Structure 1
Amino acid sequence: MRNRAAWAIWWGLAWITPAMADETLVIYCSEHTPPKHYAEAGVAKGYAVEAARMVALEAGYVPKVVALPWLRAIRESASGSGIITSFSRTTERDRAFLYTDLLLEDAVVLVQAESRPFPVRSLADLSGRRIGTTRGARYSPELNAALPKMVINEDGSPPLRLQMLVAGRLEGALFAGGAPAVAYSAREAGVAMSALRIVSPPLGVDPNFLGVPKAMPQAAAVKARLDAALARLRKNGRLARLLEQAGLTAPSARASASVTVPATLP
């Protein structure tokens, strides 16, 4: 009888695969980049958070999202304690991270004060200009290469960035997420959209991945599970529907290796 009971227990456990086990996966995000990823009353929100959560669940993990100031989120993730969402590639980050296939893309726009516009025909027109951006943020390879030629003011608050812009302390402000990100921050800042000008076309498209730290145990296996989950979500359309609700176009399937990597920024 004992042998039969033991066999029954073993047989039941044999059907539990790693994807079915309660494996917690910590996902780091920014606490101050709405509506992409942010914290509200201590709860992580945003479309980059929901996309990462969806992928983790599809991969069989139990996601635990932690919102922190962006630079701290990068440092915590790099230590191996969790992955990070909405992550752009740079050669500097390549030393510490693997990247999943493409998660999402969104537009990077330049915002000017309506009362002080200036022509922008190329990134070269921003050289020497006082431009505000999120502390630690990186964008497309072309925009990343142009950043050192600007006078960059990094901050931890997009609404503050807009307040500095309309006050004349900045000549321009960068926002990933396009017009919806600008409108959200304008509401938070108490700045009327009529006081702002969003330069068209966008400065570029920011490809975002899930970053898997090389210091994480079995990092390559974690990346493989997440990539397989991404492929299934692309095929069944669930990720596309989530991104479309946020006003984004779902990216085509592309491996991170196909993306041009920019030089390390100072």
Structure 2
Amino acid sequence: MHTFLRQPLLGLLLSLLLAPGLALGAGAEAPATGEPGEAAAPLQLCLSEFAPFNASGLSEGGPLGRIAVQAFARAGIRAELRFMPWARVIKEAEAAQCLIAGLWRNEARDQLYAYAGPYYQVELGYFTLKSLPRPAEPLSRAQASRICVQRGAYLPAALQEHQSLLQMNLDLSGCLRMLATGRVDTAFGARAAGQHYLDSAAGRDLGGSIAWRGPALELKDHMLAIRKTHPQREALIQAFNRGLAQLRADGSYQRLLSAGGLSGP
């Protein structure tokens, strides 16, 4: 009696396991529905080296990189950071191959991108030799002030109007070196980034002669940017903002900033 019942039951169980649409193991994938987070590959977040905010040499990509990844994780989306030169970040994002984990808005960018966040605010302004005053405002050619800026970096209107005063360098650390040797009068950049370099082993020899000159010339919101043509734009924006709100609410956001040496609001 028991043997007779067991055979049909075993056949029924096998037929259910082999039916289309039922998962057969941990590696099986659900059919795509267009919802973010369901794709097998992780969501790509493109960014460039920008210590102490983001850097491939920092733990988990740096504090702002960790915040971006964890905000998506709270919404059930697996994301990963991809570090690359800034020109390639823009190229990949414009092709909707990735999201930009940290973009500062301007009129031209607003034509191309939609945004989530902000998830940090960056102070932009001047570094000078401690023996020199902060540049007077508004700038004028009469001052003949030589200002070093990073090539391709965001420039406030106050600097865009005086291109003849600007000298380019590959990065802010190079500008600080130019400042220390008297090749420029001022270096423009992010306060935290400049101070991070001055406090590092590479820039410690400059720390005694260079200082940040507040107040900030401009405060820029650090946004997650997504191409307006991206097919999952609205869903991804909502997911990120929802996850970011959760990180803020339970204190994780502030802990991530503090662990990376950044101050928060």
TM-score, structure 1 normalization: 0.77
Structure 1 residues 45 and 156: alpha-carbon distance in aligned structure 2, compared to 1, 3 A threshold: farther
Q: What is the CA-CA distance between 1:137 and the residue it aligns to?
A: 2.3
Residues of 2 paired with 1:135 and 1:7: CA distance?
A: 59
Secondary structure of 2:222's match? strand
Match of 1:28 among 33, 46, 56: 46
1:92 maps to which residue? Answer: 108
Q: How far does the alpha carbon of each residue in 1:95-116 deviate from its partner, in whole angstroms, 9 at most, with x for none?
A: 221100211112223101234x
1:167 maps to which residue? Answer: 181
Once the two structures are superposed, the pairs formed by residues 176-215 of structure 1 within 5 Å of their partners are 176=190, 178=191, 180-186=192-198, 187=200, 188-189=202-203, 191-215=205-229
Equivalent pair of 2:100/2:225 in contact (CA under 8 Å): yes
Match of 1:228 among 229, 232, 242: 242
Equivalent pair of 1:120/1:126 in contact (CA under 8 Å): no
Structure 1 residues 18 and 190: alpha-carbon distance in aligned structure 2, compared to 1, 3 A threshold: closer
Once the two structures are superposed, the pairs formed by residues 229-248 of structure 1 within 5 Å of their partners are 229-245=243-259, 246-248=261-263
Paired AA for residue 25 in structure 1: L
Residues of 2 paired with 1:164 and 1:171: CA distance?
A: 9
Residues of 2 paired with 1:8 and 1:244: CA distance?
A: 49
Residues of 1 paired with 2:21 and 2:85: CA distance?
A: 46
Residues of 1 paired with 2:123 and 2:36: CA distance?
A: 37
Q: How many residue pairs end up in the alignment?
A: 240
Gaps of 5+ in 1: 251-266
1:134 maps to which residue? Answer: 150
Q: Indicate whether 1:109 and 2:121 are aligned.
A: no
1:249 maps to which residue? Answer: 264
Equivalent pair of 1:44/1:66 in contact (CA under 8 Å): no
Relative to total residues, which structure has the larger strand share, 1 or 2? 1
Q: What is the CA-CA distance between 1:48 and the residue it aligns to?
A: 2.1
Residues of 1 paired with 2:169 and 2:230: CA distance?
A: 29
Give RMSD over aligned pairs.
Answer: 3.0
Gaps of 5+ in 2: 1-11
Structure 1 residues 99 and 167: alpha-carbon distance in aligned structure 2, compared to 1, 3 A threshold: same
Q: What is the CA-CA distance between 1:207 and the residue it aligns to?
A: 1.0
Q: What is the CA-CA distance between 1:208 and the residue it aligns to?
A: 0.9
Residues of 2 paired with 1:72 and 1:18: CA distance?
A: 24
Match of 2:88 among 50, 56, 72: 72
